[in-house]
Amino acid sequence: MSNAKDTIIEVRGLTNKFGSHTVHDSMDLDVKRGEILGIVGASGSGKSVLLRSMLGLHPPTSGQILFGDKDITRLSKKEILALHDKWGVLFQGGALFSGLSVLENVQLGMLENYDLPLPDATKLAINKLKLVGYKQEDIHKNPSELSGGMIKRAALARAIALDPEILFLDEPTAGLDPLSADGFDDLVLELRQHLGTSIVIITHDLDTLVKVCDRVAVIIDKKIIVDTIANFRKHEHPWIQKYFNGNRMRAALSLKENVSAPEGKPDKPKTKES
């Protein structure tokens, strides 16, 4: 029976140093079960390092990362491998295996880790591909034949293949056209709704942050602050002010408000603050 705690991941005192350069200085983070958490930060703030630390791919300099009752930083390589069914990861470039077809990519976890018979693994894989909106006729294509949007969808299907408790998405909408990016956002919301997955998204896409994320974690000055966008807009730190009150963010926010305007209320035209 999976741990029904409120928090699915607890990060305590995470420090990452590369030589004399400190990227993270004693960071704390709680990822709540069932939430969609966005992670933002300036380039070089260590978003990918944080992700890799949480996945056990990069041993941190110090700190704890608790997944349920297990501290990832204390586990052996073998034990970390055994966690594969708890999480699914969408890497930045998709990271699909170039020697396998899309279908084989999605099936791989099922076939390698469990003794599923091929027809059942095929059915489950096709189901996941359908879920992410990947076309049936393209399932035998090789990753080198796919467009950017298709790669992301295929990689997402592979990430959710084993119905993981938590999903990590690294810049999922980067390089996607607006329609695809919008579709991806909708997809993420549906996944949370249907599968109850907790989702952590590293992103620069403000529309994703506004539309999809319940809370946002900002990596700033080697630490991390988690809050809602509304609260961040009132935060005093200059970088956070600029980020959450800048033109792009305000455009994204007004888009959301216009779309989800409650019935009966007319949309007030937004006046530009000088």
Partner 1 sequence: MSQFVVQDIEAKRVTFHVGGVWGYANDKIIRKQITQAVRATSKKAHFHKPVLIECSDLDRMDSAGAVLIIKLHQELKEAGFEAIEVEGLTHDDNALIKNLMDTPDDEHEVYTPDTFMYHMARLGKFTVSTVGRILDGLGFFGLIAIAFLQGFVSKDGFRRRSIVRHMRESGVDALPIVALMAFLISIVLAYQGVIQLRAFGAEIYTINLTAISILREMGVLLTAILVAGRSGSAFAAEIGVMKLNEEVDAMQTMGLSPMRVLVLPRVIALIIVLPILTFFADIAGIVGSAFSVALLVGVPLEQFMAQMQGGITVWTFLVGLIKAPFFGLLIAFVGTYSGMSAQGSAENVGRMTTSAVVWSIFLVIFADALFSILFQMIGI
139 or 225: CB nearest partner 1 = 139
Under the binding rule (CB under 8 A), the answer on residue 79 touching partner 1 is no
- What is the size of the binding site for partner 1 (CB under 8 A)? 29
Under the binding rule (CB under 8 A), the answer on residue 4 touching partner 1 is no
Under the binding rule (CB under 8 A), the answer on residue 18 touching partner 1 is no
Under the binding rule (CB under 8 A), the answer on residue 99 touching partner 1 is yes
Instruction: Tell me the three state secondary structure of residue 202.
Output: strand
Under the binding rule (CB under 8 A), the answer on residue 147 touching partner 1 is no
Choosing from 75, 83, 124, 255, the residue that interacts with partner 1 (CB under 8 A) is: 124
Q: How far is the CB of 243 from partner 1 (least distance, A)?
A: 32
Closest CA to 211 of 259, 274, 142: 259
Which residues neighbour 139 within 8 Å (Cβ) at sequence distance 6 or greater?
101, 102, 103, 125, 126, 129
Which residues neighbour 189 within 8 Å (Cβ) at sequence distance 6 or greater?
36, 211, 212
195 or 255: CB nearest partner 1 = 195
Residues 81 and 160: beta-carbon distance below 8 Å: no
Interface pattern 185-224 for partner 1 (x via CB under 8 A): ---------x------------------------------
Instruction: Tell me the three state secondary structure of residue 9.
Output: strand
Q: How far is the CB of 93 from partner 1 (least distance, A)?
A: 12
Choosing from 89, 102, 139, 191, the residue that interacts with partner 1 (CB under 8 A) is: 139
Under the binding rule (CB under 8 A), the answer on residue 120 touching partner 1 is yes
Which residues neighbour 29 within 8 Å (Cβ) at sequence distance 6 or greater?
9, 10, 11, 14, 217, 224, 226
Residues 168 and 51: beta-carbon distance below 8 Å: yes
CA 157, CA 27: separation in Å to the nearest integer?
Answer: 31
The two structure tokens encoding residue 244: 């959450």
Q: For partner 1, which stretch binds (CB under 8 A), given 73-81, 132-140, 151-159, 169-177? A: 132-140
Binding stretches for partner 1 (CB under 8 A): 1-2, 85, 98-99, 103, 110, 113-116, 120, 122-124, 126-128, 130-131, 136, 139-140, 142-144, 162-163, 194
